[in-house]
Amino acid sequence: MLQTAGVVLPDAVCGQVLLTCPKGLAVQYFDVFNGDADGLCALQQLRLAEPRQATLVTGVKRDIALLQRVPPTPDACVTVLDLSLDTNWIALGALLQCGARVEYFDHHFAGDIPVCAGLSSHVDTAGHVCTSVLVDRHLGGVHRRWAVVGAFGDNLEQTARQLGASLPLDARQTDLLRELGECLNYNAYADSEADLMIHPAALHRLLQPHADPFGVIDSEPVLRRIRDTRRDDLALAQGVRAYATAPCGTVFILPDEAWSRRVRGAWGNRLAHASPGQAHAILAPNGHGGYVVSVRAPVASLRGADHLCRAFPTGGGRAAAGGINHLPQQRLRDFIRAFEHAF
């Protein structure tokens, strides 16, 4: 028996076998993905290459424990994109134990990855990698423009430009892909689905017909609305003074406003590129007596954000960027000390 994190998987499903969906059953397909740019663009590449009618499971950017929404049945074939395997381990174990097949693409901290016939995993936690890049590798670059969009949206500018260099793109086209990625990512920032400009599932359906991202840029008015809102919110953020500064970086606390909840990630990305040798933390009140925290590691190193955030309950992320869903007010000083120590 394989046992990890409290879940026991039968010996019969252990081994190294490529993902195949069960034969002789009415297969139920599920696409489970982070609602940000990386999750959307990873799924876009896969479904352009492998069209499939699937139940969509997604939500706001910080809603990452999504695999528990998939019923554990032997006829389930599940694709998971841009969601921490460590956070979803118990739900993953339940799916594998019942005989479901799961294909997993991710770049966040994973913990122990089970080796089972029902699981095909593509996990790389390097700081310069995102899920769109992993799918691009898997597909051999056949829809690379969407991988460029995903990498830009995930604040991996150097990675995006390296991918784009292999394509016939001029400077203006590259800038358009960058703006699209940043807009797709911006839409995912909210504390609840009610605050989103468009739900990620609806946004996926809007993107789905477009093999070329320039088709989306030219034809979808909702993206113009996201772009304009993002521009206005960033202008408001520029007026916020630093709460704490240190040689390693800066901590900001935003006011309790709707624009603050939307802007914290985008502003963190902008600050990171403006000062690539420093780390940044953006906090905003979460309505539960604490803060939501977004952390950006120095662009020059792209490491440390995940370790810092995982030191606090509800924290997680990846090497370049992490977050904490609920930092109690009484732990603010602890966080600032840990921030200074981490970087």
**Using one digit for the tens of pLDDT, what is the confidence trace for 288-324?**
899 999 999 999 998 999 999 999 999 998 899 999 9
pTM, whole model, 2 decimals?
A: 0.85
pLDDT at 129 over 90: yes
What pLDDT does residue 13 have?
A: 33
The whole-angstrom separation of Cα 263 and Cα 240 is: 12
Q: How many residues does the chain have?
A: 343
Whose tokens are 């594998």? That residue is 96
Q: Would you call 289 exposed, middle or buried from its count of C-beta atoms within 10 A (0-12, 13-18, 19+)?
A: exposed
Supply the mean pLDDT for the chain: 91
86: Cβ contacts below 8 Å, ≥ 6 apart: 108, 109, 110, 111, 316
Among the listed residues 24, 22, 183, 18, the one whose alpha carbon sits nearest the alpha carbon of residue 95:
22
In 10 A of CB 192, how many CB atoms?
11
3-state class (DSSP) for residue 57: strand
Rounded to an integer, the average pLDDT of 171-176 is: 97
- The DSSP output letter for 62 is T
| Residue 79, helix vs strand vs coil | strand
Q: How far is CA 343 from CA 144, 211, 298, in A?
A: 33, 41, 8
Distances in Å between the Cα of 283 and the Cα atoms of 292, 306, 323, 325, 335 are 6, 16, 10, 10, 11
The CA-based diameter of the chain, rounded to the nearest angstrom, is 62
pLDDT for res 22: 52
Quick one: which H or E segment has residue 213? helix 213-219
> Predicted confidence band at 17 (pLDDT cuts at 50, 70, 90)?
very low
Give me the percent of the chain exceeding a pLDDT of 70. Answer: 93
Do 244-342 and 2-219 fall under one CATH topology?
no
State yes or no: pLDDT of 84 exceeds 80.
yes
Fold type of domain 2-219: inorganic pyrophosphatase (n-terminal core) (3.90.1640)
pLDDT at site 19: 43
- C-alpha–C-alpha distance, residues 177 and 179, integer Å: 5
* DSSP 8-state class, residue 220: -
Name the token pair of 146: 């969407």
CATH of domain 244-342: 3.10.310.40
Please say if the pLDDT value at position 11 is more than 50: no
Residue type present at position 48: L
pLDDT band (50, 70, 90) for residue 23:
low
pLDDT of 83 above 60: yes
How far is CA 108 from its chain centroid? Answer: 8
Distance of alpha carbon 48 from alpha carbon 30, whole angstroms: 16
What pLDDT is attached to residue 258? Answer: 87
Determine phi and psi for 106, rounding to 5 degrees. -165, 160
Can you give the residue ranges of every domain in the chain? Answer: 2-219, 244-342
Report, in this order, helix, strand and coil percent for the chain, each rounded to 5.
40, 20, 40
Evaluate whether 188 touches 36 at the Cβ level (below 8 Å). yes
